[in-house]
Amino acid sequence: MSRLSIEIQGVVQGVGFRPFVYRMALARNLAGWVRNRPDGVEIEVQGSEAALNDFLRTLRDEKPAPARIHAISSRVIGELSTESAFTIRASGDSAKTRPSVPADLAICADCAAEMDTPGERRYRYPFTNCTYCGPRYSIIAGLPYDRPRTAMRAFPLCAACGAQYSDPADRRFHAQPIACPVCGPRMSLKDARGVLRAEGEEALREAVADLQAGRVLALKGLGGYQLLVDATSDTAVALLRGRKHREEKPFAVMFPDLASLCCACEVSETEAGILQSAEAPILLLKWRGGVISKGVAPGNPNLGAFLPYTPLHRLVSGLVARPLVCISGNLSDEPMRIDDDEALETLGDVADAFLLHDRPVLRPVDDSVGRVEAGALHLLRRARGFAPLPLPVPLEAPVVLAFGGHMKSTITLFADGQAVVSQHLGDLDSPQGVSLLSSTVDDFLDFFQAEPVRLACDLHPDYASTRLAERMAKTRSLPLVRVQHHHAHVAACIAELDLRNPVLGLAWDGSGYGPDGTVWGGEALLVQGPGYLRFGHLRTFPLPGGERAVREPRRSALGLCQELLRDDSAAADLFSALELRPLRRMLELGLHSPRTSSIGRLFDAVAALVGIRVGAGFEGQAAMALEFAAAALEDGGAYSITLKEGIADPTPMLQELLADRSHGVDPGIMARRFHVALADLALAFAESAGREDVVLTGGCFQNRLLAALCTQKLSSLGFQVRRPALYPPNDGGISLGQAWVAAQWDERFELGV
């Protein structure tokens, strides 16, 4: 007989880990106990050596699917205890508990099998879940995570559910959101005016019939309302586009099962595993074509695809038996709706019917979006399944709250060596977006019982997030650290990958506020500790009309030609004479023409010049079109961007490109040569900076071809390429970077050296 003390760190709370440990101990006749600790789980266990070894192996190999073990350690305790049973103990209150909030989990295989089996209590029940799966973050009102503090408080357990809830040997032991047809939430179907059409199974049947007939359905999902329509019908897809005023932005598609998904997209084994995981994100996959309407993602070789992750989605999808467009239920870039009345009001003109239920959604949690590159998942939007799981950040630092950027906003709370990044909150252009940011701040401080002693925000004075941070700094008399946008981009990657060496960070994106009064976006920064040095950047050029240029790539082309060639004729034919006159005047006088070093705008300019795209329906669309055109071709050529004293000058590139254009070279070839030029530039920056670690981040590195070309060139010459993976390279990662910088900030540092 011996006794072990085991400590496990990782994502082991709210995922059924303690009941799992209990069952494993019981099966091996072991005595002892298990309890939650702030950073994981602690176990003491005693029995025969063979049983203990087997127990240890099981913890690792058979843990619940959604659990993630970061570290496990065990040591022998000299003294045996007299206890004869194994128990689940309450979490120690004495410890300085910083509780973690579990993320929402996709339906598990056991629950799926159960709801498919006629005669089971939960046969076809749309709110089936257990300790290993189901809603968490979207329904938790407060901690500790117990049913009375969730959206399930209004549903007292029936006797049968109560028995499962309190039986430690049951899969549903202490599963807070459990429910069944007797005691749990119910569905109903309303028309666009809010009039009740049907309830229960009948509601489901009618909703399915609506979808099959090509109508738009608003579905109250896990983290808010979504809009669904038949993805195989051109008319239905066009109907949704028309009503949503969303002309070209790609839609995501939910497939009934993996087999049908594989018919439409190329899926590797890794991708199949991620699609079926507890996180179940939307994955961008190579589109094979087939039954899906082209209107779902016009001009795009990739399709955002996913599998049904709640029982309700499974039912709808299985009954319709065809792929469905499934997107956030919102107006343009506002947050998704979670409130029933609000959803009816805002989506009444978009949806024909509403399939809803009486379990409240407490906060919007969008679907996560990612893709697999070189065998690893890279998230572009981090929300359901991932937020708000903590990231271990080994810094001795005070509690910091960071307010993020303006687009794809998130907030980050840093405390006790952990950074908790919120779910994707969306853009802050609408009052709804700003109020969501503000309520998420309250939410976080309440959840984590945190008192920030330092705040962080962007340098941009006009971001709504900056103003919110300023207000809080004032009312609470807290220091506010203003972190430069691209510095934050690089810092986020350093925090995620725990990089210890000084790095060269290439932060390439659309725009960020520069302390020198120009708009930054093609930056090479040396980052070490909380400070940075602007090592180099793209040569600046004027953007006639400023912000307008984001939606009109040809304006970037005009500014670029004027700056580099002192002659705008190559771009002038993209405008009518009437349009051209005021723009030329702006450029001449330097009015409303901020200067920018943005690589994102350089992409826009090139897209317009090679004739790939003149307008942009959404930000980054021109760059995406350029990427897709380039990716479709093989070519050995490259344009040249010179690097002198840190300034990257694209003049030769522009001349070569215009020469190619006059010789009628294929736009795809020109696009490819431009991509290679940027990869050469990345290498030139790395060689002149002489740092081994090179971070590639910023929205431009969502471009898969650019990231691959840069990685190839840099690694072949011995540089260590570092890229963010589970925190997006776009502005979704800004708050994490701000928190990392602010956590180490000290009055002696002058930021932005």
Token output for 594: 């901020």
In the complex with Zn ion, the residue whose CB is nearer, 132 or 719, is 132
In the complex with Zn ion, the residue whose CB is nearer, 180 or 648, is 180
Q: How far is the CB of 205 from Zn ion (least distance, A)?
A: 23
In the complex with Zn ion, the residue whose CB is nearer, 490 or 641, is 490
Q: How far is the CB of 634 from Zn ion (least distance, A)?
A: 31
Whether the bond between 311 and the residue before it is cis, its omega within 30 degrees of 0, is: no
In the complex with Zn ion, the residue whose CB is nearer, 489 or 673, is 489
Q: How far is the CB of 702 from Zn ion (least distance, A)?
A: 11
Q: How far is the CB of 173 from Zn ion (least distance, A)?
A: 12
State the Cα–Cα distance between residues 242 and 245, nearest whole angstrom.
Answer: 5
In the complex with Zn ion, the residue whose CB is nearer, 408 or 672, is 408
State the Cα–Cα distance between residues 434 and 713, nearest whole angstrom.
Answer: 41
In the complex with Zn ion, the residue whose CB is nearer, 285 or 464, is 464
Which of 113, 182, 196, 647 binds Zn ion (CB under 5 A)? It is: 182
Establish how many alpha carbons lie within 13 A of residue 497's alpha carbon, considering only the half-sphere containing its beta carbon. 24
- Three-state SS at 486: helix
Amino acid in the structure at residue 511: S
Instruction: Name the helix (H) or strand (E) containing 671.
Output: helix 667-689
* The one segment of 173-181, 256-264, 627-635, 677-685 that binds Zn ion by CB under 5 A: 173-181
State the Cα–Cα distance between residues 191 and 87, nearest whole angstrom.
Answer: 51
Site for Zn ion in 133-152 (CB under 5 A): 133
In the complex with Zn ion, the residue whose CB is nearer, 104 or 509, is 509
φ/ψ (deg, to 5) at 499: -80, 130
State the Cα–Cα distance between residues 632 and 275, nearest whole angstrom.
Answer: 26
In the complex with Zn ion, the residue whose CB is nearer, 243 or 460, is 460
Q: How far is the CB of 140 from Zn ion (least distance, A)?
A: 17
Q: What is the dihedral of CA 715, 721, 726, 727, to 10 degrees?
A: -140
- Under a CB-based contact definition with an 8 Å cutoff, are residues 311 and 107 in contact? yes
Which of 108, 305, 450, 469 binds Zn ion (CB under 5 A)? It is: 108
Token output for 269: 């084994």
Q: How far is the CB of 600 from Zn ion (least distance, A)?
A: 9
Q: How far is the CB of 107 from Zn ion (least distance, A)?
A: 6
Three-state secondary structure along 538-569? Answer: ECCEECCCCCHHHHCHHHHHHHHHHHHHCCCH
- Under a CB-based contact definition with an 8 Å cutoff, are residues 178 and 132 in contact? no
Site string for Zn ion, 568-587 (x = CB under 5 A): --------------------
Q: How far is the CB of 147 from Zn ion (least distance, A)?
A: 12
In the complex with Zn ion, the residue whose CB is nearer, 464 or 586, is 464
Which of 504, 731, 737, 739 binds Zn ion (CB under 5 A)? It is: 731
- Under a CB-based contact definition with an 8 Å cutoff, are residues 507 and 737 in contact? no
In the complex with Zn ion, the residue whose CB is nearer, 127 or 447, is 127
* The one segment of 137-145, 179-187, 638-646, 677-685 that binds Zn ion by CB under 5 A: 179-187
Which of 8, 106, 130, 189 binds Zn ion (CB under 5 A)? It is: 130
Whether the bond between 144 and the residue before it is cis, its omega within 30 degrees of 0, is: yes
In the complex with Zn ion, the residue whose CB is nearer, 43 or 161, is 161
- Under a CB-based contact definition with an 8 Å cutoff, are residues 493 and 486 in contact? no
Site for Zn ion in 239-258 (CB under 5 A): none
Closest C-alpha to 306, from 288, 280, 324: 280
Length of the chain counted residue by residue: 753
Angle value at C-alpha 235, between 258 and 315, nearest 5 degrees: 35
Q: How far is the CB of 187 from Zn ion (least distance, A)?
A: 16
**Eight-state DSSP code of residue 108:** P
In the complex with Zn ion, the residue whose CB is nearer, 572 or 599, is 599
State the Cα–Cα distance between residues 715 and 415, nearest whole angstrom.
Answer: 35
Q: What is the dihedral of CA 341, 345, 350, 354, to 10 degrees?
A: 20
Q: How far is the CB of 674 from Zn ion (least distance, A)?
A: 21
Which of 77, 183, 565, 708 binds Zn ion (CB under 5 A)? It is: 183
Instruction: Give the burial class of 457: count Cβ atoms within 10 A of its Cβ; 0-12 exposed, 13-18 middle, 19 or more buried.
Output: buried
Which of 12, 180, 437, 710 binds Zn ion (CB under 5 A)? It is: 180
Which of 11, 15, 43, 111 binds Zn ion (CB under 5 A)? It is: 111
Q: How far is the CB of 624 from Zn ion (least distance, A)?
A: 16
Q: How far is the CB of 112 from Zn ion (least distance, A)?
A: 8
Q: How far is the CB of 240 from Zn ion (least distance, A)?
A: 30
CB-CB neighbours of 692 under 10 Å? 13
Amino acid in the structure at residue 640: S
Strand partners, 283: 305, 370
- Contact residues for 226 (Cβ-Cβ < 8 A; gap 6+): 218, 219, 326, 327, 328, 329, 336
Closest C-alpha to 415, from 749, 93, 746, 99: 99
Site for Zn ion in 150-169 (CB under 5 A): 158, 161
State the Cα–Cα distance between residues 26 and 718, nearest whole angstrom.
Answer: 52
Site for Zn ion in 505-564 (CB under 5 A): 509
In the complex with Zn ion, the residue whose CB is nearer, 292 or 700, is 700
Site string for Zn ion, 433-472 (x = CB under 5 A): ----------------------------------------
In the complex with Zn ion, the residue whose CB is nearer, 669 or 751, is 751
Q: How far is the CB of 217 from Zn ion (least distance, A)?
A: 25
CA distances from 141 to 13, 84, 147, 688 (A): 17, 37, 10, 52
In the complex with Zn ion, the residue whose CB is nearer, 158 or 665, is 158
Q: How far is the CB of 183 from Zn ion (least distance, A)?
A: 3
Angle value at C-alpha 159, between 157 and 161, nearest 5 degrees: 55
In the complex with Zn ion, the residue whose CB is nearer, 513 or 575, is 513
Q: How far is the CB of 65 from Zn ion (least distance, A)?
A: 9
Token output for 441: 């701040």
CB-CB neighbours of 546 under 10 Å? 16
Residue 614 contacts Zn ion per CB under 5 A: no
Q: How many chain residues touch Zn ion (CB under 5 A)?
A: 12
* The one segment of 14-22, 175-183, 449-457, 656-664 that binds Zn ion by CB under 5 A: 175-183
* The one segment of 131-139, 261-269, 307-315, 354-362 that binds Zn ion by CB under 5 A: 131-139
Residues that bind Zn ion (CB under 5 A): 108, 111, 130, 132-133, 158, 161, 180, 182-183, 509, 731
